[in-house]
Amino acid sequence: MLLRLLLFLGALVRVTEPAPRCEPGQETLGQCQTGGKAKCVDITLGSCGDVPYTKTMYPNLLDQKSREVVEFSSEYILMSVLHNLLQGECNPDLRLLSCSILAPQCEKDKMIKPCRHVCENLRKNCLPAFDTIDMAWPYFLDCDRFFAGEEEGCFDPLAKLRGEPELAEEDLLVEVPTTLIQFTHHSYYKMVSILKKTASRCSHIARTYSIGRSFEGKDLFVIEFSTNPGHHDLMKPEFKYIGNMHGNEVVGKELLIYLAQYLCSEYLLGNPRIQTLINNTRIHLLPSLNPDGYELAAEEGAGYNGWINGRQTAQNLDLNRNFPDLTSEVYNRAGLRWARLDHIPIPQSYWEGKVAPETKAVMKWMRAIPFVLSASLHGGELVVTYPYDFSRHPLEEKMFSPTPDEKMFRLLAKAYAGAHPIISDKSEARCGGNFVKRGGIINGAQWYSFTGGMADFNYLHTNCFEITLELGCDKFPLEEELYSAWHENKEALLTFMEMVHRGIKGIVSDKFGNPIKNARISVKGIRHDVITAADGDYWRLLPPGRYIISAHAIGYSKVMKRVTLPAKMKRAGRVDFALRSLDTRPKNFLWGPMEDIYERYDPLEYFDPHAQHAQSKPREERGQPTRHNEKPWWWSYFSSLGQHKPVWLLKQR
Give the separation between CA 254 and CA 488, rounded to whole angstroms: 13
Q: If phi over 0 gives left and psi between -120 and 50 gives alpha, with beta otherwise, what is residue 92? A: alpha
The residues that bridge with 153 in the sheet, in sequence order, are none
Q: If you write DSSP's letter for every residue of 396-415 in order, what string do you get?
A: -SS-----TTHHHHHHHHHH
Q: If phi over 0 gives left and psi between -120 and 50 gives alpha, with beta otherwise, what is residue 12? A: alpha
Active-site residue, from 238, 470, 488, 498: 470
443 SS3 class: strand
Q: How far does the chain reach from its first CA to its final CA, in angstroms?
A: 37
470 is known as an active-site residue: yes
The residues that bridge with 506 in the sheet, in sequence order, are 538
Q: Is 283 exposed, middle or buried (0-12, 13-18, 19+ CB in 10 A)?
A: buried
CA 23 to chain centre: 50
Residues, the chain: 653
Give the separation between CA 501 and CA 172, rounded to whole angstroms: 43
Among 252, 249, 224, smallest CA distance to 238 is for: 224
The helices-and-strands tally (H runs, E runs) of the chain is 17, 20
5 SS3 class: helix
SS3 track for 237-274: CEEEEEECCCCCCCHHHHHHHHHHHHHHHHHHCCCHHH
Among 515, 559, 524, smallest CA distance to 542 is for: 524
Q: Is 281 exposed, middle or buried (0-12, 13-18, 19+ CB in 10 A)?
A: buried
Give the separation between CA 424 and CA 524, rounded to whole angstroms: 33
Q: 238-243 and 371-378: which strand pairing?
A: parallel
Q: Which residues belong to the active site?
A: 470
